[in-house]
Chain A
Amino acid sequence: MKTWTIFKRELSSYFTQPTAYAVIIIFGLLSTVLAFAFGHFWQRDDASLGAFWQFLPLLLMILVPAVSMKQWSDENSSNTIELLGTMPLKMNSAVMGKFLAAALVWLVTLSLTFPMVWAVNHLGEPDNWIIASGYIGTFLVCLTFIAITTFVSAFTRDEVVALIVSVAVCCLLSLVGFPEFINLARQADATEAADIMTKIGIYDHFFQATTGKINVTSLLYFCGLITVCLVGTNLVLKSKRS
């Protein structure tokens, strides 16, 4: 019930300010531009969203922290954390409420990219299950980046610091698994390091999802990261008060 109250407040804060609208428009524009200009959507001659998925982690690693950077840093700087901390409310309800509100913003943002799905269905006969799997993978990446930003923002009262550190962490998680970096590691005969980079990086788990292969390992990877970050947020908020 308290989670629901926090969720509603956060959601209305996203939509009464330009934040949600800005992210929907910017994400929609950039993801389409990247898919057509750099992903070579037309040249691929393929009824799939491969070109669309290709650059999404790069876009999300900046836009997701930009949306969520205020989550706790704002509460810390405006001292409303003191108000929340003296309400009959468990802090994990507040953490969850804020996380779910940001998740819904991204669910709406992703669902508004439906013209891409319509376009490939109009042009050919894509496997819509694979497309659905890609969307699930993208949403899991969004949730993971939201959780990371939530965790980072709990440490600071400065939202710019929260943004920079969150982007850095998300960037690291995205780039460490990028094929170019994995290949560099393999060329340097660091096969074990390359394997570890593949496992800890987001790219491979995301790429598997975009090809219709969401496996248990990937699910555990995403859910594990999200859980660790949210539990960590709760602990940071508690320890800051002691």
Chain B
Amino acid sequence: MIEVTDLTKTFGPKVAVDNLSFSVKKGEVLGFLGPNGAGKSTTMRMVTGFLPVTSGKIKICDIPMNWRPNAAKKKIGYLPESAPLYNDMTVQGFLKFCASLRGLGGPKRRHAVDEAIETCFLENVARQSIGTLSKGYRHRTCLAQALLHDPEVLVLDEPTDGLDPNQKLEVRKLIKNLGKDKAILFSTHILEEVTASCSRAVIVDQGKIVADGTPAELEAQGGGSLYDLFHKVTTFETPADKSEEPAA
């Protein structure tokens, strides 16, 4: 469903993603682990078609992103890192807007919006202005827009960031459930999430994959601890120069 081959992204002299290759099949939840600045978000932005690649290939459900971006984007639901939303809209209005952009109309759109609201527990705030929502609700609203069109591929950039422990638990459960019939790529730097939600995980450091396997395999590689493996394979001081990326 997601096939990434020799993916490279440079911003001037800085190599953000370095010859990365991985694939995610249907029914698989791939955790994308790595320290801050490792290239996780940049990879996700390329996979979703937001950033053009410097070199390499991305295929979504066998559709090449380079050649048929709109067809490939139709297959993807994406939750960006900062959960960007239009503050002047209501939750329902925003979801209707996103559904329309996804090509849904009439009763299909209504049904999709209602279902996304229900799945992400947004009933209480459906008619509320987004600008007045708490961080948790904002995150869930953005997650809801990613689910609207029942995509075959979900790309979630730190989906539990800013949620309280209960909400984190709900989102992890949701990811696990959705992963049964979708291909999910989700990034995190919370290691517990790998064992909680992922069927496989890769650890990325300085734009390269430095470890790949099931959570059990990765724990075994780390001598029984994912923390130890993460500590061993990632560099301590990642360059704090996300500013070299163009402002999204």
Contacts and interface: CB of A to CB of B under 8 A. Distances in A.
B72 to A, nearest CB: 9
A88 B70 contact: yes
A13 interface: yes
A79 B248 contact: yes
Interface of A is mostly: helix
A6 B89 CA distance: 13
A90 B246 CA distance: 20
B233 interface: no
Contacts of B216: none
Contact of B49 (A1, A12, A79, A86): A86
B85 interface: yes
Contact of A13 (B71, B88, B246): B88
A13 to B, nearest CB: 5
Given A83-B84, A88-B74, A2 B50 contact: no
Given A157-B247, A241-B246, A79 B101 contact: no
B100 A82 contact: no
A222 B103 CA distance: 34
B78 A86 contact: yes
Contact of B51 (A16, A80, A241): A241
Interface in A101-145: none
Nearest to A83: B84
A11 to B, nearest CB: 12
Given A79-B248, A240-B247, A86 B50 contact: yes
A210 to B, nearest CB: 36
A12 B82 CA distance: 24
A179 interface: no
A89 interface: yes
Interface string B88-130: 1100010001101111000000000000000000000000000
A169 interface: no
B80 interface: yes
Interface in A206-242: 240-242
Contacts of A187: none
B86 interface: yes
B73 interface: yes
B223 interface: no
Interface in A36-89: 76, 78-89
B110 to A, nearest CB: 15
A78 B85 CA distance: 7
B136 interface: no
Contact of B88 (A6, A17, A76, A240): A17
A87 B85 contact: no
B73 A88 contact: yes
A60 to B, nearest CB: 25
Interface string B40-67: 0000010011111000000000000000
A16 to B, nearest CB: 6
B86 to A, nearest CB: 6
18 contacts: A2-B101, A5-B101, A16-B88, A78-B85, A79-B82, A79-B248, A80-B85, A80-B86, A82-B50, A83-B85, A85-B49, A85-B248, A87-B73, A87-B102, A88-B71, A88-B103, A89-B70, A242-B51
Rank and list the top 6 A-B pairs by shortest CB-CB distance, nearest first.
A79-B84, A5-B100, A85-B50, A86-B48, A88-B70, A88-B73
